Every structure is written in C-alpha cells, then in structure tokens.
C-alpha cells in the first residue's frame, strides 16, 4: 500500500470505512427489471466543483442531507450500467470466477442502495443508514481492478486485446466516478457538524482546525509534497530490490497549489516515478537525478498548450489525446453496452480561468524502445513472460518484482503489480477531470513525461 504523506495526514475518509464493524446494512432483492430501469437513466458526469458544492466542513444537517441525496441520485444508475456492461461480455468470460465475482459485487452493491432509491433522505437517521450502505459499497469494490485484471488474464484466449482495452477503458473510468462520489459523501459525513456533536468523544470524527479538505478534495494541494512522499516510497523499494535509490530534483515553482483529489494524483505520480526509477537504475544512471519540473497553469488554454506541445512532439495519436475539454468517454460517461450514447459532446466542467499545474518528469533511463512505444496505453500490456504471468494469476510471485508492491492505493491493490495496468489507469485518473499525460522518448537517452492537472477553481 502506498504510504500516506503529510498531505493526507488529516484526511477523514477512512474513519468510517475502516471501523471494525459497520451497522447492519439493509438490502433489497435486485431484479433484471430494476437493472434495466436504472440502466436506462442517463449517467451524470461529475465535476470537481460538484464535489465541493455542499460547502466546507463541518457541514450543517441541511447540507449533509443534500450531499446524501446528490450521492443517491448518481449511484443506482452507475451501478446498473456496470452490471449491464459486464453481462454484455462473452459468456465464457463472464463465467470466469474473477469476472463473475465482480458482477456479483455490483449486484450486491445495488441491492444495498435500492432501499433508498425510491425516496429522498430527509432525516439524520436515514442518512446514517445510507452512509453505512455507501461505506460497504466502497469496501466491496476496493479490489475490483486487480480481480478484473486476473480474470481477463485467465480468459485471454476467449477475448481479444482490443475488446479488453475497450471494456476496461469504459468500465474503470466509470468506476472512478462511482467510487469518488461515494468516498466524498463518507468524508463529508464524518466531518459534518451534527455527527461531530453526537460523537464528541470519538476522535475519528474530529478533523483539525484549519484543514484544507472538503471531503476527499484538498483545496490547497501542494504537488511538491506528494512528489516527495512518492519519491520516498519508490526509493525505499528500489533500495530493497537494487541496493540503490535514485533521487528527485524538483525545480520550477514547487510552492504551487491546486484543488484536487490527492489519492488520484498520488497514484499517478507513483506509477510515473516507479517507471522512471526502474529505467534509471537499469540503465546504470542512478547517480543522475530524476528531474521534476512544476509549472502552474493559470488557465485551460495554458494547460492545454503545455500538454498539446508535448503530445504533438511525440507520436501523433499514440500517446494522449489533446486537452481541449473533458469528453464523455474520459469519464466513463459513454456506456456502449447499454445502448446508443452521444459520443461527440464534451463536458466542460470548469471555467476558462481555472488554475492547474503541469508536472514534467525527466529521466536518463535510456528512453522507450520503439517496439514498446505503441503499446504503452494498452491494458494488460506487460513485459512479463508467460510463466511469470501464470505465477501472478495463481497468487504467487510475491518476490518477482519488488518494485511492483507500490501499485496500491487508488489503483486497486498490489496484486495489480506487473499486469500492465499502471500507466493506462494512471492516464484515466489524469484525464478524468480534464488533465492528461503525454510522453516524449529519446531512445538511447531518456524520457520526458508531462502530467497536466486541472483544479477546481475558486471555492
């Protein structure tokens, strides 16, 4: 699991979902008719501003109930769309125990939300029960990506690589939104005024004064601090495996802050630094620091220009799409399995003046081989051989790649290690709110990776 640094010390989210025992969660049987009805409802695209619109904690009772009903308006249709999407896979793939387990998890989660789906939440008692159901949902799906990865590896003879990539691109991006809205309400619940007053002696309900968090969004997120946290984590693993650890040199404007979701950025940065550190060591260049440049982007135009320049300089169309607006596909808003969708419209979640940040990670690791370059963003692309894949699928291979134990956190657990999901999933997190990742590689020299992030804007 990725260690949480100073930026996450005051994060209240896990107070509820890590209790020894949740209250009994009410369920309701889910029929095929229920799934079809909810799946016919349009998906609601999320914005970072949506997550902050209920105000700064501690929330009043009225704001907390608004948050609960907003969450309730989103979750049932998203869960139903995921069930439909899984059912439209080839039967022999759905019959795989791992894939089937995920299908069952989604049906169970819908059954826990169903008792509230036909009404509004109007009392604190109902809000507490609903939040317990949401917390169980988060727990149930904590390892979804790793289980799906193993399922698709086991069923790879029966489904093409393109089908896997298309399905996962849609499914995992939609999962980001589902999980995020659930985690946001849990965090707001924990730090709300009525529940703080009712639990004065329970330290898990107390956030320190002056916290910069609104739920899971840190309104003063300092990218440099997260980079140092990820550097330490990856460096320790490198030292364990290789006996050496590269260093990171931060230049540019390290004091830059934006409003964003730290868990997402931490996962992306960890994946990028992991790749840079490994390449640097294996190229024998560990004495050359990995150079990280932090550059604030004051507007969408500047953020787009930074990413698009890198994209155009690399292979067109092979690295990352241009940053113009958030597409429906970026947010998993396009569900091809549930019928026709408007795939051409874009979501513009934030004003033109929304500040952001561009982070360039430059290493001297020898660059990316041309025969690998075109496959960087394919789910399931891995340099492991068949024996190592079988070892991963069977649950063994704990020491195969020591570096890979860091692929936890938002990504879905260390069992993802080496399965080829790190980079494409990292790009999905970056693109979800209008950011992106672009790669420039000079074969024989090194690699530049540009991570562009959009913040919330004024709060």
Does the pLDDT value for residue 36 go beyond 60?
Answer: yes
Give the Å distances, CA to CA, from 136 to 23, 41, 412: 10, 24, 16
pLDDT of residue 1: 32
Tens digits of residue pLDDT in 9-20: 444 444 444 443
CB atoms within 10 A of CB 45: 18
pLDDT of residue 320: 43
Any idea which of 274-288, 323-337, 380-394, 406-420 has the lowest mean pLDDT?
406-420
Does the pLDDT value for residue 198 go beyond 70?
Answer: no
Does the pLDDT value for residue 42 go beyond 90?
Answer: no
Q: Residues 381, 162: contact at Cβ < 8 Å?
A: no
Any idea which of 6-20, 77-91, 244-258 has the lowest mean pLDDT?
6-20
d(CA 260, CA 453): 8
Structure tokens at 265: 């950025």
What are the domain boundaries of the chain? Answer: 6-211, 214-454
Position 241 confidence tier, pLDDT thresholds 50, 70, 90? confident
CATH number (3.30.565.10, 1.10.3860.10, 3.40.50.720, 3.40.50.2300) of 214-454 reads 3.30.565.10
**Mean pLDDT over each residue of the chain, to the nearest integer:** 78
d(CA 247, CA 267): 19
Position 67 confidence tier, pLDDT thresholds 50, 70, 90? very high
Q: What percent of the chain has pLDDT over 70?
A: 69
Tens digits of residue pLDDT in 92-148: 999 999 999 999 999 999 999 999 988 899 999 999 999 999 999 999 998 888 888
pLDDT of residue 153: 85
d(CA 227, CA 118): 44
Tens digits of residue pLDDT in 371-412: 888 888 877 654 444 555 555 555 544 433 333 433 334 544
Structure tokens at 96: 């795989």
Q: 94 CB contacts (<8 Å, ≥6 apart)? A: 86, 87, 100, 103
d(CA 303, CA 299): 6
Q: Read off the pTM.
A: 0.80
pLDDT of residue 419: 55
> Could you confirm whether domain 6-211 is CATH 3.40.50.300?
no
Look at strands 326-327 and 346-347 and give their pairing: antiparallel
Does the pLDDT value for residue 421 go beyond 60?
Answer: yes
């Amino acid at each position: 699991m990725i260690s949480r640094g100073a930026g996450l010390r005051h994060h209240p989210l896990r107070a509820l979902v890590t209790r020894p025992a949740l209250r009994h969660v009410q369920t309701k049987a889910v029929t095929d008719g229920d799934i079809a009805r909810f799946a016919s409802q349009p998906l609601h695209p999320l914005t970072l501003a949506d997550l902050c619109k209920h105000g700064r904690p501690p929330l009043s009772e009225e704001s907390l109930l608004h948050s609960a009903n907003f969450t309730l308006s989103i979750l049932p249709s998203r869960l139903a769309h995921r069930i439909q999407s899984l059912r439209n896979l080839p039967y022999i793939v759905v019959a795989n125990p791992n894939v089937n387990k995920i299908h069952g998890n989604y049906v169970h989660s819908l059954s826990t939300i169903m008792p509230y789906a036909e009404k509004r939440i109007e009392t604190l008692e109902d809000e507490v029960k609903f939040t317990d159901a949401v917390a169980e949902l988060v727990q149930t799906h904590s390892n979804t990506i790793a289980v799906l990865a193993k399922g698709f590896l086991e069923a790879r003879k029966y489904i093409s690589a393109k089908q896997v990539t298309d399905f996962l691109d849609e499914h995992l991006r939609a999962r980001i939104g589902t999980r995020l809205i659930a985690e946001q309400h849990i965090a707001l619940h924990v730090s709300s005024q009525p529940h703080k007053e009712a639990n004065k002696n329970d330290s898990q309900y107390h956030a320190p004064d002056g916290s910069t968090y609104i739920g899971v969004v840190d309104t003063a997120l300092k990218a440099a601090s997260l980079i140092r946290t990820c550097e330490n984590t990856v460096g320790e693993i490198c030292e364990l495996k290789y006996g050496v650890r590269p260093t990171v040199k931060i230049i540019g404007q390290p004091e830059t802050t934006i409003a964003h979701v730290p868990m997402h950025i931490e996962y992306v940065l960890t994946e990028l630094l992991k790749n840079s550190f490994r390449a640097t060591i294996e190229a024998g260049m560990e004495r050359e620091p990995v150079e990280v440049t932090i550059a604030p982007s004051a507007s969408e135009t500047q953020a787009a220009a930074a990413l698009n320049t890198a994209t155009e300089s690399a292979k067109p169309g092979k690295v990352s799409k241009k940053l113009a607006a958030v597409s429906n596909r970026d947010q998993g808003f396009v569900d091809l399995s549930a019928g026709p969708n408007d795939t051409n419209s874009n979501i513009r979640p934030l004003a033109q003046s929304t500040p952001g940040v561009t982070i360039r990670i430059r290493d001297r690791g020898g660059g990316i081989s041309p025969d690998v370059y075109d496959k960087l963003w394919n789910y399931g692309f891995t340099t492991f051989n068949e024996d190592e894949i079988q070892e991963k699928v069977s649950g063994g291979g704990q020491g195969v790649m020591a570096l890979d134990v860091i692929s936890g956190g938002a990504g879905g657990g260390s069992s993802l290690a080496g399965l080829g999901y790190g980079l494409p999933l990292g790009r999905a997190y970056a693109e979800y709110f209008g950011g992106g990742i672009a790669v420039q590689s000079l074969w024989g020299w090194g690699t530049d990776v540009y991570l562009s992030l959009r913040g919330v804007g004024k709060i």
